[in-house]
Chains A and B, each alone.
Chain A
Amino acid sequence: MRINIKLVAHSGAPIPGIGPDGEGNLDVPDGATLADVLSKLDVAKEKLTMALVNEAVVRPAMHHEHCLNDGDLVTVFPPIEGG
């Protein structure tokens, strides 16, 4: 299935399928979880990674249990504070 991705304020290394603006899509196996997608995006290692699925918050404790559907939009926020 194909998952739409939006990496907010993306500043990391290029990721296949994701444009320099942080938007793109990933093909993942059916039944993939949010944690699986975050792992592919190489952002799961950052502490405090916050994510939305279809504009609804998914708490970090639920990342491994939240199964995605074809066409879902995953929005990922970096751990950053304003100043």
Chain B
Amino acid sequence: MGWAGKVLRVKLTEGTCESEPLNMAWAEQFLGQRGLATKYLIENMDPSVDALDPGNVLIFANGPLTGSMAPTAGRYSVITKGALTNAVACSNSGGKVGAEIKLAGWDMVIIEGKSPKPVYLWIDDDHVELRDAEHLWGRSVWDIEPAIKAELSDPSIKVASIGRAGEQMVRFACVVNELHRAAGRSGVGAVMGSKNLKAVAARGSKGVTVHDPKKFMAAVAHAKSTLQPHPVRQRFIKLGTHAMLDVTHNYGSLPTRNERDVQFEGVDKLNAAASQKPHGPNDTVNLITNKACFGCTIACGRIAQIDPDHFSIQNKPQYHTASGGLEYENVFALGSMVGVDDIDAVTFANFVCNEDGMDTISFGGSLAAAMELYEEGIITKEQTGVDLSFGSAEGLVKMAEECAKGVGFGAEIGLGSKRLCEKYGHPEFAMVVKGQEFPGYDARAMQGMALAYATSNRGACHLRASPFASDFETTETPGKAEIVRTTQDERAAMFDSAGICAFIAAAVNIDQIAAMLDGALETEWTADRIRETGERIWNLERIFNIKAGMGRKDDTLPDRMLHTPAPSGTAKGQVAKLDEMLPEYYEMRGWDEEGEPRGQTLTRLGLA
């Protein structure tokens, strides 16, 4: 219960789709979604294989709560070896397609091999087939979602697909569902493109059952009653995650101009307040409304529009309607990180990233690296075809379009910061960990985040740990290792493996989440079991990365974070003190000096 009990195994090379029972022994150990799929991944592929090789495996995975009555239970993840990082990748998305796959009776879809020609997967409850997608290849997400629905004669079908970026294997291509929700990070869309798989479409009618409905619904009601009146929920509704822009700017942790700066003078033109005020010749208001994912009572999603006279959308009617708007990570990455304060240009770049499936964080970070190469005279306008100085809205717009289609200098942006900067002989300009671009928190002003970035199994990530409260309280390092380790474990299981959204965390505690799992599943779930399961998942991911050739050398930060002091803000003069935290972190994890789990750690966690 909580589970449909079935896994769909798709062998693209052979063109077959087979049903197999969910491995319940593994589900007991690894819960679901991120944890359980990582177990399937490591058991079904050689971690040392190249991410774009047909030997890589791509998994769409649900948690036991996905599709249930639990609040925010619309989450699914795409698990694979990342094209951007060559490390384990797990990219989490909301919307409705994950729940739809669960409602169709599938806990997980495992995709192996490579199709000889473009195909898409159609899941209609128990009926599953691979369908020709040659007519969809070369088209955007925004174009093919309606096309698939029309082809299957049902507008209610849910679709997860790749755009042209995924087809071109842009290293940070993502999987997009319902036009503007994305499994965004680590290049999971490039892996999908490498397999000639254009989309997964689903229609489900089976429902989700739980083990003890009375206990489950009592836990759900308790969680909802806690969430409903909470001020954080109200803030998410009114301002979305966009609110964070003012926070990091004022604190001095807002990555600006490829992290040369930590505060952005144009913040008042990009912040949540600006998105709600008329601007431009037509008094356009950027934010139209908010939007919720499946089962969500928060609705942090933004729906926005661009001023119809803005230069970015002249003669481009597809951008004259409202679509997915600005959230914190995209407004930082496409705004302050590249020094652009034009909210319409930032919104346009965000639309393009949604339309053709690119991770906004990594696109913005890669463009910022290119801008630094440009400002240092290492690349020129003859190469880029446009002014790529920091702050160039024209550069942002042109590079977004080119990168999405894999043409012009934009194709080089699509390499990602690490490969781009190495190509031009300046790896120090790449603000990455394990090849993945930094999210919107400067590692010098937020020391816990510095450790979280360095130790994240999927490369730089703000979602793998939760040091926010501590980091906004102090830039001293004592205590950070314990906060990072604890929250890494809790989040790995509580959110990424259960099927619910991390944004309920401010209101709903781990005991309440354990109570929902306890009602949904047959065996007993407690907060301690969630933590232990999270630790098991974290170590399993670490094992995958070690088998892929990674280790302590990859648990580091760019020189700029380690040696160039923050130029302003509360942490002015400070650098990231990783060497003060990393050894303590390894010791707490039960790992040796090289960052490898000790034998007793693996035995304790059942991973030996």
Contacts and interface: CB of A to CB of B under 8 A. Distances in A.
A46 to B, nearest CB: 5
Interface in A4-58: 6, 8-9, 11-12, 21, 46, 48, 50, 52, 55-57
Contacts of B236: 80
B250 A50 contact: no
A61 B570 CA distance: 18
B69 to A, nearest CB: 23
A79 B241 CA distance: 11
A79 B247 CA distance: 10
Contacts of A56: 570
Nearest to A7: B246
A35 to B, nearest CB: 15
B289 interface: no
B3 to A, nearest CB: 27
B473 A57 contact: yes
Contact of A46 (B231, B244, B440): B231
Contact of A82 (B241, B251, B473, B569): B241
A57 B235 contact: no
Given A9-B235, A80-B235, A82-B440, A55 B570 contact: yes
A82 B505 CA distance: 12
B466 interface: yes
Interface residues on B, range: 35 or more
B300 A82 contact: no
B332 to A, nearest CB: 8
B506 A79 contact: yes
B273 interface: yes
Nearest to B329: A82
Contacts of B472: 48, 50, 57, 77
Contacts of A81: 241, 244, 466, 468, 502-503, 505-506
Contact of A11 (B239, B271, B327, B473): B239
B570 A9 contact: no
A54 to B, nearest CB: 11
Nearest to B244: A82
Contact of B503 (A6, A60, A83): A83
B441 interface: yes
Contacts of A57: 472-475, 570
A8 B247 contact: yes
Contacts of B291: none
Interface string B257-275: 0000000000000011100
B462 A82 contact: yes
A48 B272 CA distance: 21
Given A52-B251, A81-B506, 6 more contacts: A9-B245, A57-B475, A57-B570, A75-B250, A81-B503, A82-B329
Interface of B: 231-232, 234-236, 238-239, 241, 243-248, 250-251, 271-273, 300, 327-329, 332, 439-441, 462-463, 466, 468-469, 472-475, 502-503, 505-506, 569-570
17 contacts: A6-B250, A8-B247, A9-B243, A12-B231, A12-B234, A57-B570, A59-B474, A77-B247, A77-B472, A78-B232, A78-B235, A79-B469, A80-B241, A81-B502, A82-B244, A82-B332, A83-B300
> Which 3 A-B residue pairs are closest in the complex by CB-CB distance?
A9-B243, A82-B328, A82-B244
Interface of A: 6, 8-9, 11-12, 21, 46, 48, 50, 52, 55-57, 59-60, 75, 77-83
